[in-house]
Amino acid sequence: MKRQFLLFENTRAVIQAEAQLKTAAVACRVMPVPRAISSECGMCLELTDYGSDSIPTSLTVPAKLASIAG
């Protein structure tokens, strides 16, 4: 099973995206970016129970979708 993450340019974008996704009933959680994706310090959203390989359409904040084997 793969784990999916949304990556953002800054923490403010993470917080805005989390609110938008929760309003759209997309399950997610804020967490540090996994080292397998980036060695930079930062926050991301992990999408839980998300079955698509595209960014949720309800999101208006720029983001990149990344996946790792889980």
CA distance 6 to 56: 10
- State whether CATH 3.40.720 applies to domain 2-69: no
Amino acid at 14: V
Listed in sequence order, the DSSP H helices in the chain are: 11-23
In degrees, to the nearest 5, what angle opens at C-alpha 48 toward C-alphas 9 and 23? 70
Asked if pLDDT for residue 70 goes beyond 90, the answer is: no
**Helix, strand, coil content of the chain in percent (nearest 5):** 20, 30, 50
Asked if pLDDT for residue 43 goes beyond 90, the answer is: yes
Q: How confident is the model at residue 61 (pLDDT cuts 50, 70, 90)?
A: very high
